[in-house]
RNA sequence: GCCGGGGUGGGGUAGGUGGUUAUCCUACGGGACUGUGGAUCCCGCGACUCGGGUUCGAAUCUCGGCCCCGGCCCCA
């Protein structure tokens, strides 16, 4: 049977969509209170947009194809490049900073696993042209508030700064591919390989020692002071440290304090955060939910100069994205047994064929007042109507029967208590609104 | 791309050393029952992931594909 879904894709049914929509709405609300505005870019782009940024190797992870005019097209694998493209195309001369957010699906041709699908959703933002420590602080504060409003339990925001690591390497004359390779090993957490690699590059022992120490450091602002002592003669590192300290101080003003204090806060300084991508330059952060194991990272971001790669005027940007599916995974982990919220509030049940017209009139009246209402369309027999209404989760059932109607009445049954009221047919709306 | 575990009605399952009509729960349809039966009882519907092999006979053994789950690689 060829009616199956393509590998790595999912269908979302009613309950799951309700949950996803609710999370989406919460994130939109938070982002908008930070003055971000929504954008939407195409689901597919020219292949070159992504190869320009990441090289030809990424093609085997893409859903790419030729269109009927032989253009090389690909389904987008991520959203930062399209957003940068949008900026280049139509926003270069807009006043900075530009704050925008997006929500949409991306596609990668990969081996599907838990929390990893071939179509997946990202919810993220970019602030273009606002590279200051205070801009970085605001972004972290917004990510934090998002998770607070979603009531996510047990997450950790790890913040690092690539200027410290890259500065240290540059002072030791390690640049170019060697530097990128070292950053990649740090990102993966391959300590042994990192040590071996350091032996093969021309780096003095003292710097190598300091580097290995730094990437292990986690905690509060005392971490930065410890590093400062070790690198007092290295100008680039000191500059980055100053910037990072400023960021941490500003975070206080944005309402995030006690950094590194696990009892009271979720933000921790982690100088081992490297992010695999070469174009990240300054602050970087990742958010983990440790109980999710292999899929614990639900968010990543930082400061980069992607626009420069595309040949525009140099503009620093800062952005991050939630892996929406993993975020849902983390949220549902906590509240599995919550009972589903019904969509409809009122069910209108015609007891006999002659009362159908009246039933439709009542249903429309309620719907125009914004009350989610279902009315029998299947000509079900009366005895099935109550059971059907029950299954829909209706709070109230309006029984429209001939006997009642002769006196101008209908019966409103409260499905929770079983209590019934006889109500004038033209007063149904008031009665429902009262009982809310 | 690699390693391992799986796939039985719409959902959840039993059976598995080959052998009658493939078990149970639930959901769904109908009836008992033409205004309160949201219950109960009865009846019905509906499945061995696909293809090849072994065999008189395969849900069961075997090989391959597809898909799912877990782990690795990767994760722009």
Q: What is the ipTM of this complex?
A: 0.85
CB contact at 8 A, A111 and A41: no
Residue A6 is assigned to a structural domain of this protein: no
For residues A337-364, average pLDDT = 86
Can you give the distance from the CA of residue A1 to the C1' of nucleotide B61 in angstroms? 26
DSSP letter at A388? H
How far, in Å, CA of A112 to CA of A75, rounded? 17
Residue A291 clears pLDDT 90, i.e. is over it: no
Strands A280-288, A267-270: pairing kind: unpaired
Its domain, for residue A413, covers 346-434
Q: Is the CB of A3 under 7 A from strand B?
A: no
Same domain, A242 and A136: yes
Same domain, A293 and A156: yes
CB contact at 8 A, A323 and A297: yes
Cα–Cα distances (Å) from A236 to A164, A178, A226, A311, in that order, read 8, 18, 16, 26
Q: Is the CB of A4 under 7 A from strand B?
A: yes
Reference A56, options A66, A67, A64, A44; nearest CA is A64
Residue A339 is assigned to a structural domain of this protein: no
How many folded domains does chain A comprise?
2
Same domain, A215 and A142: yes
Q: Is A351 helix (H, G, I), strand (E, B) or coil?
A: coil
Tokens 């059907």 -> residue: A388
Tokens 């930082």 -> residue: A302
pLDDT the model gives residue A338? 58
Nucleotides of B strand lying within 7 Å of any protein CB atom: 1-2, 27-28, 30-31, 33-39, 49-50, 66-76
Q: What are phi and psi of A369, to 5 degrees?
A: -90, 5
Residue nearest to nucleotide B2 (CA to C1'): A111
Residue A311 clears pLDDT 80, i.e. is over it: no
Residue A375 clears pLDDT 70, i.e. is over it: yes
Can you give the distance from the CA of residue A383 to the C1' of nucleotide B10 in angstroms? 24
pLDDT band at A246 (very low <50, low <70, confident <90, very high): very high
Residues 296-355 of A with CB under 7 A from strand B: 351-352
pLDDT the model gives residue A342? 74
Residue A340 is assigned to a structural domain of this protein: no
Return the CATH number at A75: 3.30.930.10
Strands A396-400, A346-350: pairing kind: parallel
Residues 108-147 of A with CB under 7 A from strand B: 108, 110-114, 116
pLDDT the model gives residue A122? 95
**Nucleotide closest to A306 measured between CA and C1':** B76
Can you give the distance from the CA of residue A321 to the C1' of nucleotide B1 in angstroms? 28
pLDDT the model gives residue A290? 85
Choose between A36 and A330: higher pLDDT: A36
**Nucleotide closest to A420 measured between CA and C1':** B36
pLDDT band at A154 (very low <50, low <70, confident <90, very high): confident
For residues A149-170, average pLDDT = 91
pLDDT band at A103 (very low <50, low <70, confident <90, very high): very high
Same domain, A245 and A387: no
Choose between A80 and A189: higher pLDDT: A80
CB contact at 8 A, A234 and A161: no
Query: CB neighbours (10 Å) of residue A112?
Result: 15
How far, in Å, CA of A43 to CA of A58, rounded? 18
Return the CATH number at A395: 3.40.50.800
Can you give the distance from the CA of residue A295 to the C1' of nucleotide B52 in angstroms? 39
Residue A276 is assigned to a structural domain of this protein: yes
Residues 183-212 of A with CB under 7 A from strand B: 188
How far, in Å, CA of A301 to CA of A104, rounded? 17
Can you give the distance from the CA of residue A378 to the C1' of nucleotide B44 in angstroms? 21
Contacts 24+ apart (CB under 8 A), A428-436: A428/A362, A428/A365, A428/A366, A428/A398, A429/A365, A429/A366, A429/A369, A429/A371, A432/A345, A432/A346, A432/A366, A432/A371, A432/A396, A433/A369, A433/A371, A435/A396
**Nucleotide closest to A378 measured between CA and C1':** B29
pLDDT band at A13 (very low <50, low <70, confident <90, very high): confident
How far, in Å, CA of A288 to CA of A269, rounded? 13
- For A381-395, what is each residue's pLDDT tens digit? 888 899 999 888 899
Same domain, A109 and A186: yes
Q: Is A369 helix (H, G, I), strand (E, B) or coil?
A: coil
For residues A330-347, average pLDDT = 75
Same domain, A60 and A198: yes
Q: Is the CB of A265 under 7 A from strand B?
A: no
Residue A405 clears pLDDT 50, i.e. is over it: yes
Same domain, A327 and A369: no
Residue A2 clears pLDDT 70, i.e. is over it: no
Same domain, A289 and A394: no
Residues 52-91 of A with CB under 7 A from strand B: 53-54, 58, 61-62, 77-78, 80-81
Reference A21, options A344, A320, A341; nearest CA is A341
- For A43-57, what is each residue's pLDDT tens digit? 999 999 998 877 777
pLDDT the model gives residue A314? 83
Residue A194 is assigned to a structural domain of this protein: yes
Residue A242 is assigned to a structural domain of this protein: yes
Same domain, A295 and A162: yes
Residue A167 is assigned to a structural domain of this protein: yes
pLDDT band at A413 (very low <50, low <70, confident <90, very high): very high
Residue A263 clears pLDDT 80, i.e. is over it: no
Q: Which of residues A309, A334, A359 is at a domain's end?
A: A334
pLDDT the model gives residue A258? 78
Which residues does A65 contact at the CB level (< 8 Å), separation at least 6? A73, A74
Can you give the distance from the CA of residue A243 to the C1' of nucleotide B48 in angstroms? 65
pLDDT the model gives residue A416? 85
How far, in Å, CA of A358 to CA of A370, rounded? 19
pLDDT band at A135 (very low <50, low <70, confident <90, very high): very high
pLDDT the model gives residue A336? 55
Same domain, A227 and A324: yes
pLDDT the model gives residue A276? 67
Residue A8 clears pLDDT 60, i.e. is over it: yes
Can you give the distance from the CA of residue A294 to the C1' of nucleotide B15 in angstroms? 36
Q: Which of residues A334, A363, A381 is at a domain's end?
A: A334
For residues A324-338, average pLDDT = 78
Structural tokens at position A288:
């983990």
How far, in Å, CA of A143 to CA of A322, rounded? 9
Structural tokens at position A335:
């509240």
Q: Which of residues A305, A334, A363 is at a domain's end?
A: A334
Same domain, A239 and A312: yes
For residues A410-432, average pLDDT = 92
pLDDT the model gives residue A350? 93
Structural tokens at position A396:
């109230």
Residue A47 is assigned to a structural domain of this protein: yes
pLDDT band at A1 (very low <50, low <70, confident <90, very high): very low
Choose between A122 and A435: higher pLDDT: A122
Query: CB neighbours (10 Å) of residue A11?
Result: 7
Same domain, A52 and A140: yes
pLDDT band at A340 (very low <50, low <70, confident <90, very high): low
Can you give the distance from the CA of residue A1 to the C1' of nucleotide B18 in angstroms? 27
pLDDT the model gives residue A15? 84
- Average pLDDT for chain A: 89
End-to-end CA distance of chain A: 48
């Amino acid at each position: 049977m060829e009616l199956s879904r393509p590998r790595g894709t999912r269908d979302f049914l009613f309950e799951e969509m309700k949950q996803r929509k609710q999370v989406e709405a919460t994130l939109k609300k938070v982002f908008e209170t930070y003055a971000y505005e929504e954008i939407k870019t195409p689901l597919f782009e020219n292949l070159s947009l992504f190869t320009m940024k990441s090289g030809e190797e990424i093609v085997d992870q893409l859903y790419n194809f030729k269109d009927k005019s032989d253009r090389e097209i690909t389904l987008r694998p991520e959203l930062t490049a399209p957003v940068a493209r949008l900026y280049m195309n139509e926003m270069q001369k807009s006043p900075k900073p530009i704050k925008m957010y997006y929500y949409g699906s991306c596609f990668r041709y990969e081996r599907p696993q838990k929390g990893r699908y071939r179509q997946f959703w990202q919810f993220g933002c970019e602030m273009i042209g606002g590279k200051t420590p205070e801009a970085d602080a605001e972004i972290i504060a917004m990510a934090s508030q998002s998770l607070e409003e979603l009531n996510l339990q047990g997450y950790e925001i790890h913040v690092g700064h690539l200027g410290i690591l890259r500065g240290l390497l540059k002072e030791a004359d390690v640049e170019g591919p060697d530097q990128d390779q070292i950053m990649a090993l740090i990102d993966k957490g391959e300590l042994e390989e990192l040590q071996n690699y350091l032996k093969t590059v021309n780096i003095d022992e003292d710097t190598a020692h300091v580097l290995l120490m730094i990437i292990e450091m986690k905690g509060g602002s005392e971490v930065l002071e410890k590093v400062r002592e070790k690198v007092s003669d290295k100008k680039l590192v000191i500059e980055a440290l100053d910037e990072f300290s400023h960021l941490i101080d500003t975070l206080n003003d944005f309402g995030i304090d006690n950094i590194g204090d696990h009892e009271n806060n979720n933000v921790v300084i982690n100088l081992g955060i490297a992010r695999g991508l070469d174009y990240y330059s300054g602050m970087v952060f990742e958010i983990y939910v440790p109980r999710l194991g292999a899929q614990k990272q639900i968010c990543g971001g930082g400061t980069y100069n992607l626009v420069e790669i595309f040949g525009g005027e140099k503009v620093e940007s800062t952005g991050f994205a939630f892996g929406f599916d993993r975020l849902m995974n983390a949220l549902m982990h906590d509240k599995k047994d919550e009972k589903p919220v019904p969509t409809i509030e009122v069910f209108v049940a015609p007891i006999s064929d002659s009362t159908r017209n009246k039933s439709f009139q009542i249903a429309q009246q309620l719907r125009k007042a914004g009350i989610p209402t279902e009315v029998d369309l299947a000509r079900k027999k009366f005895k099935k109507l109550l059971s059907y209404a029950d299954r829909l989760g209706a709070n109230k059932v309006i029984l429209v029967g001939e006997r009642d109607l002769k006196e101008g009445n209908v019966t409103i049954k409260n499905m929770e208590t079983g209590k019934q009221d006889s109500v004038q047919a033209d007063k149904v709306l008031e009665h429902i609104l009262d009982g809310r």
